[in-house]
Structure 1
Amino acid sequence: MIKPYLLVVTGRPGSGKTTFSKKLSSELYLPLISRDEIKEGYVNTFQKRHSELPDDTNKVVTDIFFATVKNLLDSNVSLIAEAAFQHKVWESKLEALKSKAKIFMLICKVEDEIAQKRYISRGLDNPMREYFHGDEGVDLTRKGYKAEVKPYGEPRLDVPTFFIDTTNDYSPSIDELRLKIFKVIQE
């Protein structure tokens, strides 16, 4: 039986996962399901800042995200799912998808300082980011405080895993990843 495949793109905030996943989606002709974009659509519906929504908003959005991914996989659609998957929080949800798809983990990596700088810059450059996501580190920086680099527990699943350095370009490149992924798919 042929299973769809799921490319899980993740990394700490500021690691370049959103930019990378959009380019990957375009080059591999796969739909991209982004947790942040689902959250933005959800917040838009209520026309209130993230901070004004109920405390369970992130859980609701995560449930919608995984229901969407599951529905596509159940319909035999291969896809890319992008989010800051933390091992402790997301392991059971990702593990449950292993019976539905051949999963590949693509973890975007940069030095902590680079990730922090990117995270703060995108928030300061785009005030709507805080409206939709409530990025507290950006708010602290705006008020003159130093934002802390939060720990990130990258996913550890028994699936093919690739680490992508996004410091300047992508290493390995998307072409190199494509060859590695499709080699495993065809085994």
Structure 2
Amino acid sequence: MILLLQGPPGSGKTYIGKRLSSELGILHVSKDDLKETFFDALGNEEAETSKKLGMLSNKLLFKLIEKVPGNNSHIIIESNFDPELGKVELINALGDKEITIVEIFLTASNEVLKKRFKERWESGERHRGHVDDKRYADLEEYLSTKPRPLSFAKEIIEVDTEDKKEIIYQKVLKEVKNYLP
């Protein structure tokens, strides 16, 4: 099973992904983890570089999807894939492989997402390479596109993340367990 954990920045993807990985023992790979590895290696903190490394990281995630052998293996892939391009890339990565894909799309109101985005950066816990302080306009533009799921998976589970973290997590966990042996 491939669990696509999707949604706009600030929707709670990393929190949910890490908890699921820890509790269920499933490998969790995120776009941001890959980007941060590149940032550390390259030492660059420019907004344009961050965008390019984000695209490269997504390409690597699709390459990883190509390598998933089948339904006996499970992986959590976390990103905010472009709905059109992401669907094409996913189809290409899967080829003729038969594997269950479950997409969990996390979201919240634009106001909440913007607030979380800003708070995450200002907390000092966000890797400096993301340069989120220089990317508020990018977030505004992204949110104006009304982010949506890839709509390719066997099951698409949309979750509003404006409730308490634990309530949201338990809801997602329950859904994911429906697809595990």
Q: Is TM (by shorter chain) over 0.5?
A: yes
Match of 1:15 in 2: 11
User: CA RMSD of the aligned region, Å?
Assistant: 2.8
Kindly tell me: are residues 54 and 112 of structure 1, through their superposed partners in 2, closer, same or farther at Cα, counting changes over 3 Å?
closer
CA distance in 2, matches of 1:85, 1:114: 20
1:104 to 102, 105, 121: 102
What is the aligned counterpart of 2:174 among 170, 173, 176? 176
Structure 1: gaps (5+ residues): none
- TM-fit CA distance, 1:81: 0.3
- Residue number in structure 2 paired with 1:80: 76
> Kindly tell me: are residues 33 and 55 of structure 1, through their superposed partners in 2, closer, same or farther at Cα, counting changes over 3 Å?
closer
Gaps of 5+ in 2: none
Whole-Å Cα distance in 1 between the matches of residues 35 and 170 of structure 2? 30
Of 124, 131, 135 in structure 2, the residue corresponding to residue 134 of structure 1 is 131
Aligned to 1:157: 152
Within the candidate set 62, 84, 89, 2:85 is matched to 89
Overall identity of the aligned pairs, in %? 22
Q: Are 1:166 and 2:164 an aligned pair?
A: no
SS at match of 2:121: helix
Which residues in structure 2 correspond to 1:16-35 (within 5 Å)? 16-35=12-31
Question: Does the Cα contact within 8 Å between 1:14 and 1:115 map onto a contact in 2?
Answer: yes
Q: Following the alignment from structure 1 to structure 2, what is the Cα–Cα distance between the partners of residues 127 and 173?
A: 26
* Residue 59 of structure 1, aligned match among 24, 31, 55: 55
Larger radius of gyration: 1
Structure 2 CA distance, aligned partners of 1:150 and 1:134?
Answer: 20
SS at structure 2 position matched to 1:173: helix
The count of aligned residue pairs is 171
Q: Which deviations, in whole Å up to 9, do the C-alpha atoms of 1:130-156 show, x marking residues without a partner?
A: x32232xx3376xxx9x7344323322
TM-score, normalised to structure 1, is 0.77
Is the 1:88–1:153 contact (alpha carbons within 8 Å) kept by the matching residues of 2? Answer: no
